Chains A and B, each alone.
Chain A
Amino acid sequence: GAVVSQHPSWVICKSGTSVKIECRSLDFQATTMFWYRQFPKQSLMLMATSNEGSKATYEQGVEKDKFLINHASLTLSTLTVTSAHPEDSSFYICSARDGGFVETQYFGPGTRLLVL
Chain B
Amino acid sequence: GQNIDQPTEMTATEGAIVQINCTYQTSGFNGLFWYQQHAGEAPTFLSYNVLDGLEEKGRFSSFLSRSKGYSYLLLKELQMKDSASYLCAAQDSNYQLIWGAGTKLIIKP
A residues contacting B by CB (< 8 A) are: 2, 43-44, 46, 49, 91, 93, 97, 102-110
**Assembled-state Cα–Cα distance A103/B40 (Å):** 25
- Could you tell me if A44 and B33 are in contact, using CB atoms closer than 8 angstroms? no
Number of interface residues of B (CB under 8 A): 21
Within 8 A of A (CB), among B43-93: 43-45, 48, 50, 87, 91
Q: A108 contacts which chain B residues (CB < 8 A)?
A: 42
Q: Give the chain B neighbours of A93 by CB distance below 8 A.
A: 42-43
Is A43 a contact of B31 with CB atoms below 8 Å? no
Q: Is the CB of A103 within 8 A of B95?
A: yes
- Say whether A102 contacts B31, CB under 8 Å: yes
Residue in A closest to B43 when the chains form the complex, CB atoms:
A107
Does B106 sit within 8 A of A, measured CB to CB?
Answer: no
B45 pairs with A104, CB closer than 8 A: yes
Among B44, B50, B95, B96, which residue has its beta carbon within 8 angstroms of that of A107? Answer: B44
**A110 contacts B42, C-beta separation under 8 Å:** yes
Between-chain CB contacts (< 8 Å), 20 pairs: A2-B45, A43-B99, A43-B101, A43-B102, A44-B43, A44-B87, A44-B102, A49-B96, A93-B43, A102-B48, A102-B50, A103-B30, A103-B31, A103-B95, A105-B33, A107-B35, A107-B42, A109-B41, A110-B41, A110-B42
